[in-house]
Structure 1
Amino acid sequence: MRRSYNKEFKILAVKLVIEDNMPEEEVSRAMIVHYNSLYRRIGKYEKYGESAFPGYGTALYSYQYEIKNRIKKGARNSKKYHNVSKKLMFDYYILYHIIMF
């Protein structure tokens, strides 16, 4: 089974390396975390700060939420456009047949 760690645990591990200058190997052994996970968390912490760790599991960063919402909004707008254009095409079809026959 895969282990999951809370936000405080992740931040503590990273701060031990960054602020207390402890070696990564020692921190990973003491906290029973694979050193690759620790290196990855250090990189995320340096890039995003404490918002890099949303808690348990994975989550989207704020800029990813923004992109996701833009995509959803665009999809909704395109559906509205599609429905309107279908209605206009149907109205045009009816009008054309009324005039022609």
Structure 2
Amino acid sequence: MIKHIAMWKLRLADGQDKDAAFALIQAALAAQVGRIPGLLESEAGLNFKVSSKAMDVAVYTVFTDKAALEAYHQHPVHQETRFKVDRFLEQGCMVDYEV
């Protein structure tokens, strides 16, 4: 089993609301489950902590194996999600590990 964790700092246009942007991100990520083989779980959370070191969003996903994670990045459904989400992302980091 593979765990994929990403953390993002959001980039919002003038007048854009962080909660509204997160709702769109969360819905797009949740819509991938059941549509991408090997993606078992997907969860996103909006950080409530204000700090210069803090990221805005954490994403937790679980995959059956490394091959499923690699296929996920190329899958058309994930590409649709990236089209919706990437416009809100300023910076990010991630970690993948096997359990």
Structure 2-normalised TM-score?
Answer: 0.29
Larger Rg: 1 or 2?
1
Higher helix proportion (structure 1 or 2): 1
Structure 1-normalised TM-score?
Answer: 0.28
